Amino acid sequence: MASKDAHNQRSRGQPGFLPGAPDPDQSFRASSSDPGNQVWQQGVPSPSNFLPAISFPPGLEYLSQLDLIIIHQQVELLGMILGTETSNKYEIKNSFGQRIYFAVEESICFNRTFCSTLRSCTLRITDNSGREVITVNRPLRCNSCWCPCYLQELEIEAPPGTIVGYVAQKWDPFLPKFTIQNANKEDILRIVGPCTTCGCFGDVDFEVKTINEKLTIGKISKYWSGFVNNVFTNADNFGIHVPADLDVRVKAAMIGACFLFDFMFFEHSLAGL
């Protein structure tokens, strides 16, 4: 009976995995129980209903059963009043609107002023107890199709000091394309954006696809938040739709990708038009 259950579990959709894993079905899958049963509070231990063979980076157990991650950028009133670029701050929530992480950008004023959306920075993501669980490092790089050798790249650490993945921009003359890679820089998934990201009175979707781009398994959406918000503030709202059983390290990389898209395509106050 146990072998039959294991066979049925392997037959349900595409499991979360990283290339090179000896047994992706058991090493990186999580239980598909209702995320509403999770307790969201400080110092939550790994839930007991996880499969015994699963080991999550500290703090990423919150992501294990989520198929929707909501990211809300906080409004910086000082930047609005003074017309200056301030450090970005984001709330990361589950589908019930409960905050699971908080992200703060670390960058120097010179970079924010003169490098603008291309600036190098570090985003530190903490859980509700204040423990840093994810670090996203963004170096100063280009994003022009005329400079294909030095395009955007993010490095994701979870926990801080341990690299778990990368997000790398790929050259394409027509569409914004990115690749999610594991710690060995092996390609895992591709992200393909629309030909225009202006988002005129509607959502902007970046599709998450398999490596051959034949199958769409999810999407990262920049939600249209209304004319006033999109025109007069930099506060953006995003949703990451992924399979619930996708590897938590890949989900962490997709959170980093969402930050990168915000910098590249939506950072300006007129980005929503």
Q: Is residue 109 part of a domain?
A: yes
Q: What's 141's DSSP letter?
A: -
Q: Is residue 132 part of a domain?
A: yes
Q: Is residue 19 part of a domain?
A: no
Q: Is residue 84 part of a domain?
A: yes
Specify the number of domains making up the chain: 1
Partners of 99 in beta bridges: 93
Write down the pLDDT at residue 174: 85
CA distance 108 to 120: 9
Q: Report the SS3 class of residue 257.
A: helix
Q: Is residue 21 part of a domain?
A: no
Q: Is residue 272 part of a domain?
A: no
Q: Report the SS3 class of residue 134.
A: strand
CATH number of the domain within which 185 lies: 2.40.160
The total of other beta-carbon atoms located within 10 Å of residue 39's CB is 7
Q: Which single residue is written with the structure tokens 């990451």?
A: 240
Can you say how many angstroms the Cα of residue 178 is from the centroid of all Cα atoms in its chain?
Answer: 12
Write down the pLDDT at residue 240: 97
Q: Which domain holds residue 129?
A: 69-266
Q: Is residue 92 part of a domain?
A: yes
Give the length of the chain: 273
Determine which helix (DSSP H) or strand (DSSP E) holds 81, and give its type and residue range: helix 77-82
Give the list of residues 6+ apart from residue 49 with CB closer than 8 angstroms, or none: 31, 33
Is this model's pTM higher than 0.95 or not? no
The pLDDT tens digits along the chain (273 residues) read 444 454 444 444 443 444 333 343 333 333 333 434 433 334 444 333 333 346 889 999 999 999 999 999 887 665 555 556 678 899 999 999 999 999 999 987 767 677 777 788 999 999 999 999 999 999 887 766 566 677 889 999 999 999 999 999 998 888 999 999 999 999 999 999 998 777 566 789 999 999 999 999 999 999 976 544 554 455 679 999 999 999 999 999 999 999 999 988 887 643 333
Q: Is residue 35 part of a domain?
A: no
Sign of the Cα pseudo-torsion (38, 70, 30, 136, in order): negative
SS3 content of the chain, % helix, strand, coil (to 5): 20, 30, 50
Write down the pLDDT at residue 147: 62
Write down the pLDDT at residue 37: 40
